[in-house]
């Protein structure tokens, strides 16, 4: 039994690995050599086989491609439409859909296509192409095409395989070819993506094909009540963009009156705004809450030498450039060999006819003798030839017809030989400087096709739009002291309640209760906080808090000021030491605040009231103890609306008729008396 289980495990492992390898190599991940997936390569080869300069029905192209592709026609048709809409390799005729609106292409029987001039020039060369048998062995297909431009980076690619995925962003045609020239000249270069949908891109976190990139729609303020979107982020359509805006509006994150799509050849989405909502603020909200800003994660995974690997843009462009030099060198060598063969054949023909060597075989009766006669007659001219004469050369001479000999044009033949020699010399010069020849080839491509492919996406840096700052205050938080609940589904006890405020779902709320305990919480629909809440509001940075509190242990009042404290969300903190009698007597926020503290009466005290100007106290940490208000017990603390002016000279003055010693003694008696009152007051509180 265990042996059978082991065999089944091995069988599943082998089959799974085989399937995984097939999906990675034959379907989802593109090759670094030509930048194509297998279905794209088979499509282009089929179009090349069918190419006669005219358009072909897409249905016919799909049918022919099925001879090479082992999957259904749907995948072939989708790949063809995708390739055609990229605008480089396939010319279109008919409705191939709209990359801006997301509209689908017409049926395959209604639309037509053919290879573009660029594809004919840079994709095919049977002398450099390795072929293999198709899946049914009835025909042959290319292992890879000898692409002379970096198609992988030009078109980009998306694919999900087993255990891996790739997302390669498209780049600009001109910039890629200029980068290749820079590589050949040993110069620095940098490459960033470029999208047909245009828009704005931030490449701060882009790392040569990996990392991420942020894309934004181009939004213009037509007037303060109208917004227009003229370019959209990569990976979106006008339909998906409008859906995201409407979803944000339905959730209350933004407010719009209407949204209309007027897109045809160019993107045009118009948004109308309601009363009291203005374009400047809404544009920021659109970036924060809709697909007007997208973050694209990139992963440059490819097939190199039958194995998947993660690479970089610089590595890919350098590989393609080295391959281009190699391919062009091979083409030059093949062309040189072809020209040499042609020159050799023309020279043989010239000598054979002009020297009348054919007359020497008129009397010869056997084939062997004819060949020997021609061979011996050519020996004096060996130095004029490109290589030794072979038997096949002689047979080719003997196949020349009498009619051709009688009409032989000596001048024309000499001119053609001179032209061939000239072409050979040009190829030999190019082979001596293959780098220079490659640069000239790329520059020719740039001159011919570069003007048709300007940069479409604008590279810029985005200032991050924080959702909390641009969110609408569409929630009203209320506090019901009787039930002890707070939240945006809770109604305040009355309309004039001091704890009722508007906020957004992204805000944080600071809660402080009478015992001095505080914490920061997110906006909730319903949260129990108890009956002793004294402060609840949206958390504001650097807000100044002024409090007067009673220290339960000493039973004395203290005053302190602090700014908005640092916090961990939903963690409890304390403004002063915990004690069952400790409590906040007064809490005010902001500057220029005053309080009046009524103290327990004392027989010897000069006054039973202390005026507090909070601005005179230093702002310290939230956990600082603060400064004692008085050595006597505070009975009542209220906010004072009148500013207390203290004159330093009057504060230092003494009442007439009293000495400093008497004043100090009276103060001592007052303190002793207060201490008794404090004890009494404390017992009463107990």
Instruction: Point out the residues that are catalytic.
Output: 110
* Residue 323: C-alpha distances to residues 108, 154, 169, 211, 243 (Å): 36, 16, 21, 27, 45
186 Cβ partners below 8 Å, 6+ apart? none
User: Any residues with CB less than 8 A from the CB of 663 and at least 6 apart, and which?
Assistant: 654, 655
How far out from the chain centre does Cα 665 lie? 79
Alpha-carbon distance of 624 to 622, in angstroms, equals: 6
Return d(Cα 45, Cα 145) in angstroms, integer. 8
* Residue 287 near residue 295, CB atoms below 8 Å: no
What is the rounded CA–CA span in Å between residue 27 and residue 20? 10
Parallel/antiparallel/unpaired status of strands 634-639 and 165-168: unpaired
d(CA 217, CA 432): 50
- Whose CA is closest to 574, among 601, 609, 606, 547? 547
Q: With contact defined as beta carbons under 8 Å apart, do 291 and 241 qualify? A: yes
Whole-angstrom distance, CA of residue 121 vs CA of residue 444: 11
Ordered DSSP codes for 596-659: EEEEPP-TT-S-SEEEEEGGGSPEE-TT---EE--SSPEEEEEE--SPPP--HHHHH---TT--
- Report which of 173, 212, 220, 228 is spatially closest to residue 195, judged by C-alpha positions: 173
Q: How many CB atoms lie within 10 A of CB 35?
A: 25
Establish how many alpha carbons lie within 13 A of residue 603's alpha carbon, considering only the half-sphere containing its beta carbon.
Answer: 5
Structure tokens, 83: 């390739």
**Number of Cβ within a 10 Å radius of residue 653:** 9
User: Is the Cα torsion angle 90, 94, 95, 99 positive or negative in sign?
Assistant: positive
Tokens (6 digits) for 152:
């992988």
Instruction: Please count the residues of the chain.
Output: 686
282 φ, ψ to 5°?
A: -70, -35
| Strand, helix or coil for residue 301 | strand
Q: What angle do CA 316, 317, 318 make, to 5 degrees?
A: 90
d(CA 381, CA 679): 137
Q: Which of 439, 458, 442, 438 is nearest to 450 (CA)?
A: 442
Q: What kind and span of H or E run contains 545?
A: strand 544-551
Judge whether 90 and 83 are in contact, CB under 8 Å: yes
Neighbours of 448 (CB within 10 A): 12
State both tokens at 344. 């050799």
3-state secondary structure of 660: helix
- In three-state form (DSSP H/G/I as H, E/B as E, the rest C), the secondary structure along 404-437 is HHHCCCHHHHHHHHHHHHHHHHHHHHHHHCHHHH
Report yes or no: 594 and 612 within 8 Å, Cβ to Cβ. Answer: yes
Structure tokens at 322: 């080295």
> How far is Cα 432 from Cα 329, in angstroms, rounded to an integer?
10
């Amino acid at each position: 039994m265990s042996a059978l289980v082991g065999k089944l495990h091995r069988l599943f492992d082998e089959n799974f690995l085989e399937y995984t390898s097939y999906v990675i190599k034959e379907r989802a991940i593109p090759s670094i050599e030509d930048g194509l997936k297998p279905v794209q390569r088979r499509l282009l080869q089929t179009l090349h086989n069918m190419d006669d300069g005219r358009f072909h029905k897409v249905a016919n192209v799909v049918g022919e491609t099925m001879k090479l592709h082992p999957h259904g026609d749907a995948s072939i048709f989708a790949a063809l439409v995708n390739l055609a809409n990229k605008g480089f390799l396939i010319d279109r005729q008919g409705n191939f859909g709209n990359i801006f609106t997301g509209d689908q292409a017409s049926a395959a029987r209604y639309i037509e296509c053919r290879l573009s001039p660029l594809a004919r020039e840079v994709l095919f060369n049977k002398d450099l192409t390795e072929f293999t048998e198709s899946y049914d062995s009835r025909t042959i297909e290319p292992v890879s095409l000898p692409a002379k431009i970096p198609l992988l980076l030009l078109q980009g690619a998306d694919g999900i395989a087993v255990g891996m995925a790739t997302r390669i962003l498209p780049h600009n045609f001109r910039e890629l070819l200029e980068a290749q020239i820079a590589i050949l000249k040993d110069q620095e270069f940098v490459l960033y993506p470029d999208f047909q949908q245009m828009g704005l891109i931030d490449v701060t976190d882009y790392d040569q094909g990996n990392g991420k990139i942020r894309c934004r729609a181009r939004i213009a303020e037509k007037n303060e009540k109208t917004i227009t979107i003229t370019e959209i982020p990569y990976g979106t359509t006008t339909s998906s963009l409008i859906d995201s805006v409407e979803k944000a509006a339905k959730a209350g994150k933004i407010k719009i009156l209407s949204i209309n799509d007027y897109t045809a050849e160019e993107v045009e989405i118009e948004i109308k705004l309601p009363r009291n909502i203005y374009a400047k603020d809404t544009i920021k909200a659109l970036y924060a809450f809709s697909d007007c800003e997208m973050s694209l994660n990139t992963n440059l995974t490819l097939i190199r030498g039958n194995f998947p690997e993660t690479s970089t843009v610089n590595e890919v462009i350098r590989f393609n450039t080295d391959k281009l030099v190699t391919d062009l060198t091979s083409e030059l060598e093949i062309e040189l060999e072809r020209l040499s063969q042609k020159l050799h054949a023309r020279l043989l023909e010239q000598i054979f006819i002009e020297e009348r060597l054919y007359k020497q075989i008129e009397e010869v009766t056997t084939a062997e003798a004819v060949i020997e006669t021609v061979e011996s007659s050519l020996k004096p001219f060996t130095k004029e030839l490109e290589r030794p004469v072979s038997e096949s050369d002689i047979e080719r001479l003997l196949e020349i017809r009498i009619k051709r000999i009688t009409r032989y044009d000596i001048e024309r033949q000499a001119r053609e030989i001179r032209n061939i020699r000239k072409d050979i010399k040009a190829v030999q010069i190019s082979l001596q400087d293959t780098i220079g020849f490659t640069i000239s080839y790329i520059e020719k491509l740039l001159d011919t096709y570069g003007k048709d492919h300007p940069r479409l996406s604008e590279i810029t840096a985005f200032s991050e739009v924080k959702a909390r700052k641009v969110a609408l205050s569409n929630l009203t938080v209320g506090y019901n002291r009787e039930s002890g609940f707070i939240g945006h589904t809770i109604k305040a006890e009355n309309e004039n309640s001091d704890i009722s405020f508007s906020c957004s779902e992204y805000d944080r709320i600071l809660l402080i209760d009478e015992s001095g305990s505080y914490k920061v919480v997110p906006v909730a629909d319903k949260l129990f906080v108890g009956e002793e809440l004294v402060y609840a509001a949206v958390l504001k940075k650097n807000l100044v808090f002024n409090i007067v509190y009673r220290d339960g242990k000493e039973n004395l009042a203290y005053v302190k000021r602090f700014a908005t404290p640092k916090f961990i969300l939903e963690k409890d903190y304390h403004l002063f030491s915990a004690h069952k009698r400790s409590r906040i007597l007064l809490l005010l926020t902001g500057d220029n605040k005053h309080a009046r503290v009524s103290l327990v009466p004392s027989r010897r005290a000069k006054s039973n009231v202390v005026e507090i100007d909070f601005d005179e106290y230093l702002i310290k940490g939230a956990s600082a103890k603060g400064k004692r208000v008085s050595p006597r017990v505070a009975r009542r603390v209220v906010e004072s609306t009148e500013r207390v002016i203290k004159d330093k000279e009057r504060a230092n003055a003494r009442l007439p008729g009293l000495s400093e010693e008497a004043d100090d003694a009276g103060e001592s008696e007052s303190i002793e008396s207060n201490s008794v009152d404090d004890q009494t007051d404390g017992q009463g509180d107990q």
